[in-house]
Structure 1
Amino acid sequence: MDVSGARTLVEGLAVPWDIAFLPDGNALVTERDSARLLRVSPDGRATAIGTIEGVSAAGEGGLLGVAVSPTYADDQYIFVYFTADDDNRIVRYQLDGDRLSDRQVILSGIPKSGIHNGGRIAFGPDGHLYAGTGEAGDQPLAQDRESLGGKILRMTMDGRPAPGNPFEGSVVWSYGHRNVQGLAWDSQGRMFATEFGQNSFDEINRIEKGANYGWPEVEGVGGDDRFVDPLLTWSTDEASPSGLAYAGGSLWAAALRGARLWQVPLSADGEAGRPIAHFEGEYGRIRAATPAPDGSLWISTSNKDGRGDPDPADDRIIVLPARR
């Protein structure tokens, strides 16, 4: 990834929360507070597709994740994760050109709050839809396997538990999470997720089927056999990691409070090398990180989210070209 060649693609957005690519190379971008779904082209044209129905934006909630069906050419399905009046939920649409239709709520009942709503959704290499959720500030929910809060979920395109899930009749894939806002898979299909810590340690975790990641009993490395220790930790002022991508042999973690992009080289066996910080003091809070079909990496700023210091160009999408 050519970090030195980073360029601003789009300016003047408002809390662009997630980025997902269509097969034609255009991106779908969500705006958290406005509930707008945008189409952004590789040459920087941004057009509004529409405003997502039912979004109740407040605090950290609003229109959050977006994902594109791996069989989009056949079904035209896109998926959004958002905060509604009573919960967080995942809704499926068909996208025909710039027209959204066939709205279907596929999963509801994810706990909501002014904080810790999770919200990232992505399709894994297995073709199933994964979602990172938060415990909505109610810490015991993370250990309650009957709750959808503080979990990573795995489901079919209809919102049903995916075949092979660890707990019968449940969409829960892993638990013991505080607030998951980043999901990524490496070239060998290993899954990783970012985790917001409380006061001491933010995390990247390697995610295993049915595993317990310890919150609220443990923050950071606990050394307790009941829980899986993180792959990597930072102090909370260095990170607050949101979006996560894999590209060029590294994980790329978007840091909010840390106001930088972290590069984490991965070894052949999936171990983390020494993290490298990029863009400190340059773009402010960084929210999303998504690899594009052309090998570049798109990231978004989050300086208008109430915790940043926006300049007249914010918020923006920045492209890191693929290294040639």
Structure 2
Amino acid sequence: MRIAAIGVALVLSLTLAACGGAGPATPSGADAVVEVAATAPSGSLIPQRAAGAPRTLVTGLEVPWGLAFFPDGSALVTERESARLLRVSPEGAVTPVGTVTGVAARGEGGLLGVAVSPAFATDRAVFVYYTSATDNRVVRLRVAADGTIDGAAQQVLVSGIPAASIHNGGGLAFGPDGLLYVATGDAGRGAAAQDLGDLGGKILRITPDGAPAAGNPFGTAVFTYGHRNVQGLAFGPDGRMYATEFGQNRVDEINRITPGANYGWPTVEGIGHRAGLTDPLLTWTTSAASPSGLAYAGGSLWAGALRGQRLWRVPLASGGTGGAEPVGTPQPLFTHEFGRLRAVVATPDGSALWITTSNRDGRGSPTAEDDRILVVRLS
């Protein structure tokens, strides 16, 4: 049963826009509304860690999209347009290690999410999500002993995910259960999100070999449905799962993900209080967010905002049970300091966040340093 939602409006400064596109900054007096479905008493929040000042680790990237850490603390980064795979050391050294063949970059599509196998030490496997000429797909690649990746030697795990110039989804993440979660978009076809026979507008759960995971609610790869465009996936305390979602005209979302739930698109945008549909934990006006990457660390969710050009911190409460579980007051950080923020990933020890900018994606205003990887220490 859903927790009864309690609307709470919080007025915060922001920029003007909708659905992840470009848009000039609004005057400093403009307002955004954040609606929290259930507000957590301060005493119930998980102990919080503060974010330090960002430092630039890497400059000169071309539309970095996904980022995932290897066991040694280096990261594998995807570039959306070039289809390159880059290995980035903790010291900021960048090494091209391969190019994924078959990528057809157009609009919001291209080489998108990436995940490193939890069993990497033995299987040397990495997984990427990309837009081809006909669909979006998830493939498995292998890292050679010298660190290179043959982007042509692909094992296709999932194909037939609808593709378009917009709403391609693209997030990948391994859960605590060792299964791979795949975030898809509706490819501009809203009705597809409610069609359990269509892979668009869903979160999928598969094995590392691409089979539907045992225990999936519909006997297929589909884990949840009714999504418009999900890009960020994160796992918090007790394995709780969360996702960012782009709205249409009014609001963007963070959702608590539970098996078999229907998140309402296109019937509902935002908090709808509709029987049979799961409300988001919180919503922002689209100009404040357009949320892409999502991470959990230090008691909070951290969401990268493209149009909103800021990092959102969302404190979590202990003992969440699903549905509209209580969260603390969202806080915007680094507003307009670095432009559009895309990937947000916690380091393996949880001591820092790596964040990519997305100012060279055709919707930003790049500087000579863009695109960048920023490091934010948590204390």
Classify the TM-score, shorter chain. over 0.9
Q: Report if aligned partners of 2:289, 2:308 keep a CA contact under 8 Å in 1.
A: yes
Partner of 1:292: 347
SS at structure 2 position matched to 1:140: helix
2:273 is the alignment partner of 1:223: yes
* Aligned match for 1:25, one of 65, 68, 73: 73
TM-score by length of 1: 0.98
| CA–CA separation in structure 1 for the residues paired with 2:163 and 2:251 | 23
- Letter in structure 1 aligned against 2:208: M
CA drift of 1:188 comes to 1.2
Q: Which runs of 5+ in 2 are unaligned?
A: 1-48, 321-325
Q: Deviations over 1:18-42 (max 9, x none)?
A: 1100001110000101111000000
* Aligned match for 1:106, one of 140, 157, 173: 157
Within a 5 Å distance, the mapping from 1:121-160 to structure 2 comes to 121-160=172-211
CA drift of 1:269 comes to 2.7
CA drift of 1:304 comes to 0.5
- Letter in structure 2 aligned against 1:113: A
TM-score by length of 2: 0.84
Q: Report if aligned partners of 2:52, 2:378 keep a CA contact under 8 Å in 1.
A: no
CA drift of 1:98 comes to 2.4
CA drift of 1:2 comes to 4.8
Partner of 2:104: 56
Runs (4+) of structure 1 exceeding 3 A deviation are none
Q: Report if aligned partners of 2:297, 2:346 keep a CA contact under 8 Å in 1.
A: yes
* Aligned match for 1:280, one of 315, 330, 335: 335
2:211 is the alignment partner of 1:166: no
Q: Report if aligned partners of 1:2, 1:320 keep a CA contact under 8 Å in 2.
A: no
SS at structure 1 position matched to 2:113: strand
Partner of 2:323: none
Within a 5 Å distance, the mapping from 1:185-196 to structure 2 comes to 185-196=235-246
| CA–CA separation in structure 1 for the residues paired with 2:194 and 2:366 | 37
- Letter in structure 2 aligned against 1:303: N
| CA–CA separation in structure 2 for the residues paired with 1:187 and 1:317 | 26
- Letter in structure 2 aligned against 1:52: V
Partner of 2:130: 82
Which region of structure 1 is more displaced relative to structure 2, 256-265 or 1-10?
1-10
| CA–CA separation in structure 1 for the residues paired with 2:254 and 2:154 | 34
- Letter in structure 1 aligned against 2:158: L
2:359 is the alignment partner of 1:303: yes
| CA–CA separation in structure 1 for the residues paired with 2:287 and 2:53 | 27
- Letter in structure 1 aligned against 2:367: D
CA drift of 1:3 comes to 2.7
Q: Which runs of 5+ in 1 are unaligned?
A: none
| CA–CA separation in structure 2 for the residues paired with 1:277 and 1:229 | 22
Report the aligned-residue RMSD: 0.9
SS at structure 1 position matched to 2:121: helix
- Letter in structure 2 aligned against 1:243: G
Partner of 1:8: 56
